[in-house]
Amino acid sequence: MDLGVKGETALVVGASEGIGYESAKGLLEEGARVLICSRSADKLKRAAAALEQATGAKVPWFAADVTRAGDVARLKDWLGQQAPALDILVTAVGGSHRALFEELDDAAWIASYEFNVLGTVRVIRAALDPLKQSKAGGRIVVFGAAGPRMPYPNQVVSNVHKAGLIALVKTLGAEFQPFNIRVNSVSPGRTLTSLWTTRAEKLAKERGVKPEDVIHEFSEEIPMKRFGRPEEIAAMAVFLASHKASYVNCQSILVDGGIARGLV
């Protein structure tokens, strides 16, 4: 299937590894020109080299921490030079904080908000002018989480903030229509990236078990009895960013092996 993005330009933020990296790879495989961004220059260099090796394409990169307004201002300047007209923006920065309500102080709530919500808002703001210049109409894909659709225990702060991202895409998908920009989100379930391998190692140490035992335990709740692979989640972002999804707007699509099964 031709997704129609050949020759278009995309920016993927949070692309040095995990789901963002696979989203960048998927877009490159569809023939898009892809720019990548995340915090660590070393990780970005390695990711750009791996993407070039896999797809043959040169991948320009820019190091920025989306929790820092100054970094995102510099990203905006760089983007203006690299892609005065941007077709696709994918934001894949975020994560959950495993803690009970009583363990969370204001600083923890604010840090999660900056990481999950404000960072995404800043990146969208930085990319908005170039997205308005897209000839085919801009597309924004935000990675949320399945959590707010079936709030996990011990994750109140990210359940709340990822729910905010669903409200963000549903609002912006309407507000940006005068600019011909579609906005959607992908809500991943448990996916085997460093986010989970690190967590499994920590929980395993606390419980005196092996990390694979922790992954097995958390897989049991998933109807498919396994975690997702990052490329399985990224495939939905590539589709939503493509012209095959030309009438999909303001949606939050679960890709979670069936863990969140609410009727609405």
Binding site for ligand NAP (CB under 6 A): 14-20, 38-40, 43, 65-67, 92-95, 119, 143, 145, 188, 190-191, 193-196, 230
| Nearest distance, CB of residue 178 and ligand NAP, angstroms | 28
Distance CA 89, CA 144 (A): 14
| Nearest distance, CB of residue 243 and ligand NAP, angstroms | 24
Instruction: Please identify, using beta-carbon distances, which residue of 134 and 169 lies nearer to ligand NAP.
Output: 169
Whether the Cβ atoms of residue 241 and residue 141 lie closer than 8 Å to each other: yes
Q: What is the largest CA-CA distance in the chain?
A: 56
Per-residue b/e over 103-119, b at no fewer than 16 CB within 10 Å?
eeeeeeeeebbbbbbbb
Instruction: Please identify, using beta-carbon distances, which residue of 6 and 125 lies nearer to ligand NAP.
Output: 125
Distance CA 137, CA 245 (A): 12
Instruction: Please identify, using beta-carbon distances, which residue of 180 and 232 lies nearer to ligand NAP.
Output: 232
| Nearest distance, CB of residue 192 and ligand NAP, angstroms | 7
Distance CA 124, CA 126 (A): 5
| Nearest distance, CB of residue 196 and ligand NAP, angstroms | 5
Number of H helices, E strands in the chain: 9, 7
Sheet order of strands, 9-13 included: 61-63, 33-38, 9-13, 88-91, 139-143, 182-188, 252-255
Instruction: Please identify, using beta-carbon distances, which residue of 28 and 134 lies nearer to ligand NAP.
Output: 28
| Nearest distance, CB of residue 143 and ligand NAP, angstroms | 4
Instruction: Please identify, using beta-carbon distances, which residue of 9 and 112 lies nearer to ligand NAP.
Output: 112
> Which residue, judged by CB position, is nearest to ligand NAP in the bound state?
18
